[in-house]
Amino acid sequence: MKTKAYSFPECAPEMQRRGKMDTFEQVRDTENLYQLNTYKKLPISIERGEGVWVYDSEGQRYLDLYGGHAVALTGHCHPEIVSAVKSQAEKLIFYSNVVYSSVRARAAKAIIEIAPAGMDKVFFCNSGAEANETAMKIVRRYTGKRKIIAMKNGFHGRTAGALGATGLGNYRAQFYPVLEDFIFADFGSIRSLEQSLNDDVAGVILEPIQSMAGVEMADDDYYIGLRNFCTENGTVLVFDEVQTGFGRTGSWFFGDHFGVSPDIITLAKGIGGGIPVGGVIIKEEISKTIGLGEHGSTFGGGPIASAAVAANIGVIRDENLVHNARETGGYLAKKVLDIPLVKRVRGRGLLVGIELERDAAEVRDFLLGRGIITGTSSLKNVLRLLPPIVVKKPEIDIFVEALGAFRS
Ligand SMILES: Cc1ncc(COP(=O)(O)O)c(C=O)c1O
């Protein structure tokens, strides 16, 4: 990977002394004053990133194992993505789907080329919630039915429909009533799916790994059983791969691990290498039910987003990152199990939940103090890692050593 010479981290304190750059306190106070107060933030202001490293306003370096919320899939500011976005911005920043675009054509082709066989149409949007809303609309249109089976403890986003499908604790309860017509099944149980089925069920939506719920996995057999259940009952199977897609778990898409292909896959987070993009990949037979003018999104498939997606797929392929996610994820899981604080490791590839003997927030704060960014989940004792999939063993060793040094 090419590296860039930046003087930022070293010169930050000097720039602050001269009043040319805000200090952390100034940044924090201004955000708190003007931004709607909906996010609980770590006490740092990140100003620059490169690969798996980010730098704060004081010039301090952090190993980013949270990946900017699972978004910096190919690392922060990957030179190929920076270059694709820069050169696209110089040519055309935006035009909508009312015209054709060579860069959108390239991105659509690139996605379908990596998609599971038989999935041959993509719809571009801007976020995970929007991708899931789109998927649910298509599921209902295709089947002519209303109900959708979602999973207890699942998370699908914050808009009305996506929140309706979200079974996870507070998210739904805080804004009740949300969109109705969801039936919640136990994740990992085919029996529970059978009990949830009725004549008005259009589809099943789930995260193949429940990330926010604490990186909850199902048995391998479940995914095969799930596919069979949907096929036998004519229900559309939707995998929300907003976190698992594009190589994070060690395969391009999660079902590839088991030879299972869903009918619809929803995507967001890392697919644009940091540029906001969402996507829905659809089996052709199902896609035919949506006609001209029946769905849209102004910014979906815009030139900059498309340039970023095409470049990102190129990077994942050229740097063999799907393989790296599998191998480095396996290395990480093995190494942390030697630490007495660690009870169990959940997840697959580089979507990792580390079950601890301690409160994960306490450990996250300790690690932050040692220059490592990690995440938590809705399970108090699970530390969540969603690092860029360019992360390598030496960086994992830094994390393992720091985690091993935790003392209450
Ligand atoms: C599995 C899953 N689906 C959907 C979403 C919503 O994505 P967005 O915040 O881009 O709307 C998220 C966000 O964390 C997610 O993890």
Tell me the per-residue pLDDT of 274-322, one tens digit each, with 9 for 90 and over. 999 999 999 999 999 999 999 999 999 999 999 999 999 999 999 999 9
Cα 286 from Cα 270, distance rounded (Å): 26
**In the chain, what percentage of residues exceed pLDDT 90?**
91
pLDDT in tens, 11-53: 777 878 777 788 999 999 999 999 999 999 999 999 999 999 9
Q: Probe ligand 1: pick from 39, 73, 156, 275, max atoms within 8 Å of CB?
A: 156
- Quick one: which atom of ligand 1 is closest to the CA of 159? 11
**Does residue 3 have a pLDDT over 50?**
no
**Residues 189/221, Cβ–Cβ less than 8 Å:** no
**Residues 385/325, Cβ–Cβ less than 8 Å:** no
C-alpha 154 to ligand 1 mean position (Å): 11
- Quick one: which atom of ligand 1 is closest to the CA of 268? 10
The token pair at 321 is: 């990152």
C-alpha 129 to ligand 1 mean position (Å): 6
Q: Report the relative pairing of strands 278-283 and 119-125 from DSSP bridges.
A: antiparallel
C-alpha 157 to ligand 1 mean position (Å): 5
C-alpha 22 to ligand 1 mean position (Å): 31
Confidence of residue 255 (pLDDT cuts 50, 70, 90): very high
Q: Is 242 in the pocket of ligand 1 (CB under 6 A)?
A: yes
Q: Is 351 in the pocket of ligand 1 (CB under 6 A)?
A: no
pTM of the model: 0.95
**Does residue 169 have a pLDDT over 90?**
no
**Does residue 6 have a pLDDT over 70?**
no
Give the residue-averaged pLDDT of 324-338.
98
Give the residue-averaged pLDDT of 64-75.
98
Sign of CA pseudo-dihedral 127, 128, 133, 139: positive
- The residue whose CA is least distant from atom 7 of ligand 1 is 128
- Quick one: which atom of ligand 1 is closest to the CA of 207? 1
Cα 30 from Cα 303, distance rounded (Å): 32
Cα 3 from Cα 63, distance rounded (Å): 17
| Average pLDDT score, the chain | 95
C-alpha 246 to ligand 1 mean position (Å): 14
**Does residue 5 have a pLDDT over 50?**
no
C-alpha 80 to ligand 1 mean position (Å): 25
Burial 67-105 (b: 16+ CB within 10 A, else e): bbebbbbbbbbbbbbbebbeebeeeeeeeebeeebebbe
Q: Is 127 in the pocket of ligand 1 (CB under 6 A)?
A: yes
**Does residue 7 have a pLDDT over 70?**
no
C-alpha 242 to ligand 1 mean position (Å): 6
Q: Is 245 in the pocket of ligand 1 (CB under 6 A)?
A: no
**Does residue 325 have a pLDDT over 50?**
yes
**Residues 69/54, Cβ–Cβ less than 8 Å:** no
Q: Which range, of 31-35, 157-161, 205-209, 327-331, averages the lowest pLDDT?
A: 157-161
Give the residue-averaged pLDDT of 52-62.
96
Cα 184 from Cα 234, distance rounded (Å): 18
pLDDT in tens, 70-93: 999 999 999 999 999 999 999 999
Q: Is 128 in the pocket of ligand 1 (CB under 6 A)?
A: yes
C-alpha 39 to ligand 1 mean position (Å): 15
**Residues 264/284, Cβ–Cβ less than 8 Å:** no
Q: Is 239 in the pocket of ligand 1 (CB under 6 A)?
A: no
Confidence of residue 2 (pLDDT cuts 50, 70, 90): very low
What pLDDT does residue 11 have?
77
Please state the φ and ψ torsions of residue 124, each to the nearest 5 degrees: -95, 135
